[in-house]
Structure 1
Amino acid sequence: MKALKTLPEKYYLDHFNEFLAYIEGPCAHLLAAPERAFVDDFRALNEAAQCLLVRLYNRKSDWVARDALVYAEINDIPAQLAVLAQCHWLQPFASEDIQIWLADITKQQLQQLYQHYQRVAADGVDTCHGDSSTLAKPPTKSAAKAGWLSYLQTLTATDSEPALAWANQHFVRQGRSQVLRYLLFLYFGRTQGRLNQLSMRDLGIMRTRRLAHEAQARFASADEAFSAFEWKHQSDALKQTMDAGLLAFAQQLPTTSVGVAAQATASRLYARLGKRMLDSELSVHPQALALSFLARSNEPEAVEKSIRVRYAAGEHEAVREQLEDIIDNPDSETLWVFASDFYARKFGRKRTSVLTDMLRDSAPVIALDEAFLGNVETGVKQYYQSQGIEAFKTENRIWRALFGLVFWHELFVNPKAGLATEFDRLPAVLKSNQFFSHMQAEIEARLQQFDSSHTLRVWLLKVSSQYYGQGNGVFRWHPKMLEILDILLTHVSVSQLQQILLAMAKDYHALSDGYPDLMVLESGQLRFEEIKAPGDSLRRNQLISLQMLNRAGLNVAVRRVEWAFNPEQAYVVVDVETTGGNSAGNRMTEIGMVKVVNAKVVASWQSLINPQRAIPRHITQLTGISQAMVADAPIFSEVVDEISDFLKGAVFVAHNVNFDYGFFKREYELCGRYIRLPKLCTVKLARQHFTGLASYSLGRLCADLDIQLARHHRALDDARAAAEILIRIQRQGLRPGS
């Protein structure tokens, strides 16, 4: 494990000064009087007080227990607390803080607070409760924190004064927290940004981007910045608001939104608010009010919801006109797909949706074993590979990688993209879906430079060589990425790729995902397939991306899968003997594998394995495998290639499969390799298909089913026995996994 870096003694203060340098520099025009006073007053503090305040600001909560304030770099902490209090960097608890504070403190602290209430009541100070005998009976000392929290919440709701006094005595509460949150928003661009991310960066835990330009402000004016912050704050608050409080929440919303960021957040908030009001089981939300919020949003989901509700209410002609306008002048691909489909079904007498039609018109069905349940794309890929057809799991990654590499300079080098600090991974122009509107000339010029597949290849290689591994929010680097992209460029014309990239640039939100699962190369022809197992549905975002690829002239299909016994599917039944029962701390001593195809054993493989550690005596007594037997045996890394070839394209089967698979996974990791295979467990299969037995251990099963097991706890013998269990299930016509 890579050791973490050692940071300087006062690195919290160093980080805060780095943070303030950005605030005082690029963001100076975004500060009002409270923010400027915050910076000036901090600079005026002595260094020890600065260190202590920054330590407090790095805490998750606005308050911290006084007995937890122990920092090696700060002398005389009580004196520094007094300085901070005198300069209003600390503030006393208010009654409205108590309920939030209670939920944040520990169970032990809740119990200490209860003891304080007892003392107050016993001294006769608590006029509300009188003496301790009138306090409601508390939970038992061993009760869960939730019980104590509920009890103290009830107690403090009746009388908060003792809690206020105790909190102010035993805790310190930060001041100017709201100002700090605004400054953090300017730096990180989100309300969840925290100062500890600077430490995580320096420790190597969090990777950041190297900016190709100077850090810059996110907003042009203070009005834009404050409006964006306020709307983000409201958006976070909506998530915590119960349905019964939606009306009150709506009444306190800002009346205006200044700037693109605030308007985008407000639009999303109005969409969520309107939908929640309409979908709520409470009857206190007027439909007209909910629709008015949806009308203020340009989110596709808000427009769609409004149209559906208004159509159901009988506003057919108004809905027809709106749909026709959307179809003729669509704002987004998502909305156009919905409007076209809804218009056809409601006004063109079409009975099925576009989603249903695409599933109905899909390619022929593939039969897969249920061992691929939850991993169906891998099953179809292996199905193709068994027929000599090349197949690659591409989904979104190939298109995002192509998009990110082609437009790397526009997205991550050009200051217009809106990367403000090194913590930004996704450019602002993509977050706001304004990449094309902000950088149309640059996008069109970039696409026009590719007059052949060769020039596009050269560009992708150049960008990859220069920027490989740099963090970004568009795609993940992968060693085989260029290899897969090269196959794409060989079989898809540059003009088709330009059309796709231009569509993604114009509407990144709609076209950044939903792409087909597989890229299949058969007989020199390339196609893309979206894989759907029984019960799966085609989502709207998938339809949009599939249709876009189809319009660009690519061969796109929906491939449906049905669960069935595939006689050509290979199953490798595995058994391992080990030095102990935990894969994290033990190693293999023997491997036995039996390959089954069409309910017949077709091959086997066995080897002792040198575990490179001592074999416990009780393990030798159980398995018969001694230290001398494995002394000259190969270590796992020496036979891993043989094992991989034997397992290729197979379902991994074992009796208690997670045990054996766990050891395989661990050994592969120690070799710097990776294994991922569909799994079947013969214990689970036996319980399903041979019911009523007293035990399903391998030894008892073999005795009950009359299966030969000559040397129990030797790998190949146990694997052969488990293989016979699988074969009997298959010969009965039962589907493994059913």
Structure 2
Amino acid sequence: MRAFCFWCRILSCLFASCALLWASMSVIVLPDKYYLSHFFELIQHLEAHYQSVFEPAHVDFLKSFHALSEDAQCAYVRMINRKGLVFNNISFTKYPEINDPLGSLKELENAKFLSRVNETDKLMLTEFLTKTDLAKWLKKSGIRVASSESRADLVIKAQGSLDQLLLTNLELYDELFVQRRFEELDYLLFLYFGKIQRNLTLYTLRDLGIRQAHSLKTDFKARYIELTAAKQDYFFYSEIERLSDVQSEAEILEKLEFSRSVATDPIKDQWLLGIAIKFEDVNQDITLAALKECGSHPARERQARLFYKWEQVEQSRAVLEAILEDPHCDEELLFAEDFFARKFGKKRTGSLTDILKSSKQVTLSDVYLKKPEQGVIDLYQKQGYTGQFVENYLWVGLFGLIFWEELFASPVAKLFNPFDRKPADLAGPVFYNRNEVLLESKLVQMNDYNAIEFIILKTVTEHYGKMNDLFQWTTSLAPMVLDFVRKTRNKNVAHILRTMARRFDVYHSGYPDLMLEKNGEISFIEVKADGDSLKYNQLSKARLLREAGFDVEVLRVKWQSDPNQVYVVVDLETTGGAPHSHRITEIGAVKVQGGKIIDEFQTLVNPERPIPSFIQKLTGITDQMVADAPKFSEVAERFNQFTDGAIFVAHNVKFDYGFIQKEFLRIEQDYSRTHLCTCIGMKKSFPGIKSYGLKNLTNHFQISLTQHHRALCDAQASAELLFLMTGYKEPNPRKQEEPVAEQET
């Protein structure tokens, strides 16, 4: 009965979600001044919650905005929703809801929300002006401009000659304005969104039904109540935005000095790591100062690596020993153990390489080339296991379902506006520290299936479909999690969830790909195909799972060509190179098995549009030839059946496979095949050839290509390349030849 009720509730949630989706698909027309109502909604929220962190400039900004006429308010909000700070006053005449656009701009100028351009705005002007206007400005200022120069060239030239550029030589001078008081606006938007965001797009997406809002909670408190904390976070967020800007070393040193007066914080650490990376090859002192001040991983890892790179070996050793003595997290400890062993213990290979080399290896058919995890699942199913791909989804789903109330619904949940989908306190230990009693009261019940089932079912029943940034709702999530909890009552799952709660930002990802079950016993596998590497965060999660009592292994996959495997080698001719805007004119395909062609498929296709003349010349396929040919929708089923169960092969397979997938999407059908590229395969099998285009490879290996750029001929030639790659035929290269020029559609 309990299970029946559970599925009834699930179905009701699904029907409700579908109803909402259906409603959202209807055409929504926004009112003329929708953007102004959005801005008022934002500032009303700020005025209600953030007075304690306003400075006089912010109070004056809001007072000045309220004093504007509605036309001027509309013009201002239109302005802030546009990209950049420079704009042409003529562009505001296109908004019909603004009765007097030029008068509104004058009002904004009087209220100091904008101004005419001045000498300090030249850099912005170079990035705003069109190529034509920029060239005129340069020429009138006595700077030579060549007709061959691109806009990017002119921007670089202008920015290197700012002193020579005179505003009086700028033809558009009387039409250009610059937004002012943007620092105050940036700060207000930061208070609301908790990050640097310079537009109100989320409100528009909400009103159009694209972005869900107001679903997690409705009672919001202030993100900041202390001015100092708000200004510090705003400073570091702003500096992260400026990392790509040119800044003097003196500026950076001054900011580093300020950072020392601020307590360790994830945003501060993000900026410090950015500074360290930016100056790594420029100024060692700045790099080390930033890394030493940073309190988060991987700051000390970077220090150890850089000291060693700079041949300051003893300093590197000292940092490693400090990590080994007091690691910040498992990943840092694993790095230190590995790096110390290799650099100071004279070990030739790292622990990650050793683990990977010593791990169990299985051989799979290359039918699983693009989906090795599914190949491993199928392999283990033959041994009596059931398996599924879970990776991080199992763990963040379990975490979210059990701790939903603390994460999203609690009065102290760190969601600060209707658009927040992830609690702000998950970045660091604050979430666990704030909710320790409530979290532990649930964790002690982890071995009581009925208690945990009740918590999970309650979450699903009350909150199914509510958008969040931790996990995606699916109908399979709750059954998977409940089955997992039921079968792992003898494991210390609480240890894993507690670790995630303490540092979700570190422990939310890196978990093994597969979960296996046999005779009620759960185990995990991390799958590594050829070319994959093992990462420290994956090793740390494997260690965490083992601490909880689970068997975890790394499995290497080796590929083997199945002599009975069927391949379909495909070539297409098209009206152009972009699947979203061009169509197929011809399909050629050959089915091969055991090194032999066993079937063929060829048809012209009516592209339902003219074929460009240069394409007709290249392929020989004319509009007259395809006029009576079938449309793709008429050959789709036959092609689908021809390739069913086969590996899809092509030369530059992304092109052909992408076109085929797009054509199937146009008739509202899915098309998915494991695919293989003969261009990439030939590069691996026969390195050192000057060109890997189809024409050059066929010439190099003396393969027949009598009608290049006709689909069936090219498919047959590509099949010969496949035979060389898979060893069914011996290569027969020419002695010497020059690369043959390629022409591609």
Normalising by structure 1, we get a TM-score of 0.78
Q: What whole-Å deviation, never above 9, does each CA across 1:265-316 have from its counterpart, x for those lacking one?
A: 2233234434554x31x4x543xx6434333221122223335566835258
Find the aligned partners of 1:114 and 1:348 in 2 and give their Cα distance.
62
What is the CA–CA distance in structure 2 between the aligned matches of 1:238 and 1:724, rounded to whole Å?
A: 51
Amino acid at match of 2:272: Y
Query: For 2:418 and 2:271, how far apart are their aligned partners in 1?
Result: 28
> In 2, Cα distance between the equivalents of 1:325 and 1:143?
59
Q: Is the 8 A contact 2:137 2:165 kept in 1?
A: no
- Give the CA deviation at 1:17: 0.4
Q: SS of 1:420's equivalent?
A: coil
Corresponding residue to 1:147 among 137, 153, 178 = 153
Distance 1:267 1:692 in 2: 47
The answer to whether 1:173 aligns with 2:178 is: yes
Task: Please report how far the alpha carbon of residue 622 of structure 1 lies from its aligned counterpart in structure 2 after TM superposition.
Answer: 6.5
CA 1:65–1:442 in 2, change beyond 3 Å: closer, same or farther?
same
> 1:48, CA displacement in angstroms?
1.2
CA distance in 2, matches of 1:568, 1:521: 31
**Residue 209 of structure 1 contacts residue 471 of structure 1 at CA under 8 Å; is this kept in 2?**
no
Q: 2:127 aligns with which of 103, 110, 131?
A: 103
1:652 to 648, 653, 672: 648
Cα shift readout 1:379-419 (whole Å, capped 9, x = no counterpart): 54566568886443332222222222222221111242311
**1:504 counterpart (500, 505, 515):** 500
Contact 1:594 1:719 in 2 (8 A): no
CA distance in 1 between counterparts of 2:515 and 2:679 reads: 36
Contact between 1:573 and 1:719, CA under 8 Å: does it hold in 2? no
- Conserved? CA contact 1:654–1:722, under 8 Å: yes
**Is 1:246–2:249 an aligned residue pair?**
yes
State the match for 1:195 in structure 2.
200
Report the residue type matching 1:300 in the other structure. H
Helix, strand or coil at the partner of 2:143: coil
Gaps of 5+ in 1: 119-134
Q: Which AA in structure 2 matches 1:48?
A: D
Q: Is the 2:385–2:517 Cα contact (8 Å) retained in structure 1?
A: yes
Secondary structure, counterpart of 1:477 in structure 2:
coil
Task: Tell me which of 301, 318, 332 is aligned to 1:304.
Answer: 301
1:504-557 deviation line (CA, Å, top 9, x unaligned): 111212211112223344676543222233443222211211211122222211
Name the structure 2 match of 1:322: 322
Report the equivalent of 2:143: 136
Name which of 74, 97, 101 aligns with 1:73.
Answer: 97
Rounded to whole Å, the distance in 1 between the matches of 2:190 and 2:447 is 43
Q: Any idea what SS the aligned residue of 1:72 has?
A: coil
Alignment match, 1:45 = 68
| Corresponding residue SS for 2:231 | helix
Name which of structure 1's ranges 289-298 and 251-260 shifts more when overlaid on structure 2. Answer: 251-260
> Is the Cα–Cα contact under 8 Å of residues 610 and 623 in structure 2 kept in the other structure?
yes
Counterpart AA for 2:535: R
Partner residue of 1:131?
none
Offset at 1:428?
Answer: 0.5
Equivalence map 1:315-714=2 (5 Å): 315=315, 319=319, 322-326=322-326, 330-342=327-339, 353-366=350-363, 369=366, 376-377=372-373, 380-381=376-377, 390-482=386-478, 484-485=480-481, 488-489=484-485, 491-493=487-489, 495-521=491-517, 526-562=522-558, 564-567=559-562, 570-573=565-568, 594=591, 596=593, 599=595, 646-647=644-645, 650-653=646-649, 657=653, 661-662=657-658, 664-666=660-662, 668-669=664-665, 674-681=670-677
Note the C-alpha offset of 1:229: 0.6
Matched, 1:221 2:236: no
The answer to whether residue 179 in structure 2 is matched with residue 156 in structure 1 is no
Report the CA distance between 1:25 and its aligned residue: 0.7
Displacement of 1:421 = 0.8
C-alpha change, 1:112 and 1:465, in structure 2 (3 Å) is: farther
Letter in 1 for 2:354: D
Give SS of 1:69's match: helix
Deviation for aligned residue 1:86: 1.6
Cα deviations by residue, 1:659-697 (Å, 9 ceiling, x for unpaired) = 663465246535755443331356887998899999969
Task: Give the superposition deviation at 1:461.
Answer: 4.1
Distance in structure 1 (CA, Å) of the matches to 2:412 and 2:305: 39
Q: Relative to structure 1, is the Cα distance of residues 482 and 381 closer, same or farther in structure 2, using a 3 angstrom cutoff?
A: same
> Does 2:269 align with 1:255?
no
Q: Report the secondary structure of 1:661's partner residue.
A: helix
In 2 relative to 1, CA 569–95 (structure 1 residues): closer, same or farther, beyond 3 Å?
farther
Counterpart contact for 1:517–1:531, Cα < 8 Å: yes
Counterpart of 1:230 (choices 232, 235, 240) is 235
Offset at residue 35 of structure 1 (A): 0.7
User: How many Å apart are 1:96 and its aligned residue?
Assistant: 2.6
Displacement of 1:65 after TM fit?
0.8
C-alpha distance in 1, partners of 2:266/2:574? 59
Question: How much does 1:256 deviate?
Answer: 5.4
Bigger mean CA offset, 474-483 vs 678-687 = 678-687
Q: Are 2:88 and 1:82 equivalent residues in the alignment?
A: no
Distance 2:439 2:601 in 1: 58
Provide Cα deviations, 1:638-660, integer angstroms capped at 9, x if missing partner: 997x779x42xx42235775566
SS for the counterpart of 2:511 is coil
- TM-superposed deviation, 1:427: 1.0
**1:41-94 Cα shifts (integer Å, max 9, x gaps):** 111111111111111121221221112112111122222222222222223434
Q: What is the aligned counterpart of 1:270 among 269, 272, 275? A: 272
Give 2:472's aligned amino acid. R
Deviation at 1:13, TM superposition (A): 1.0
Q: What is the letter of the counterpart of residue 164 of structure 2?
A: T
Task: Name the CA distance, whole Å, in 2 between partners of 1:575 and 1:696.
Answer: 13
Structure 2 Cα separation of the partners of residues 300 and 160 of structure 1: 49
Distance 1:636 1:100, change over 3 A: same
Pair 1:547–1:396, CA change in 2 (3 A): same
RMSD over aligned CA atoms reads 4.7
- Shift in CA distance, 663/145, structure 1 to aligned 2, threshold 3 Å: closer
SS state at 1:36 partner: helix
The amino acid that maps onto 1:464 is V
CA contact (8 A) 2:571 2:650 kept: no
Whether contact under 8 Å (1:209, 1:470) holds in the other structure is: no
**For the residues of structure 1 that align with 2:686 and 2:587, how far apart are their CA atoms?**
29
Whole-angstrom distance in 2 between the partners of 1:654 and 1:290: 48
Aligned 8 A contact 1:492 1:554 in 2: no
Q: Is the 8 A contact 1:612 1:635 kept in 2?
A: no
Other structure's SS at 1:528 match:
strand
Q: How far has the Cα of 1:10 moved from its partner? A: 0.9
User: Which letter maps to 2:514?
Assistant: L
Select which of 7, 25, 40 maps to 2:48.
25
> 1:292 and 1:542 mapped to 2: Cα distance?
30
**1:3–1:160 CA distance, 2 compared to 1 (3 A):** farther
The aligned amino acid for 1:570 is: Q
Separation of aligned partners in 1, 2:26 and 2:325? 60
1:505/1:12 CA distance change after superposition, 3 Å = same
- How far 1:614 moved relative to its partner? 12
Which amino acid in the other structure matches residue 322 of structure 2?
A: Q
**How far 1:185 moved relative to its partner?**
0.2
Distance in structure 1 (CA, Å) of the matches to 2:110 and 2:627 = 76
SS in 1 for 2:49: coil
% identical aligned pairs: 28
| Alpha-carbon distance, 1:155 to partner | 3.8
Conserved in 1, the CA contact under 8 Å of 2:426 and 2:504?
yes
Rate the CA distance shift 1:51–1:686 in 2: closer, same or farther, 3 A.
Answer: closer
Q: Distance in 2 between matches of 1:595 and 1:231?
A: 60
**Secondary structure at the counterpart of residue 162 of structure 2:** helix
Structure 1 pair 558–293 and aligned structure 2 pair: CA distance change class (3 A): same
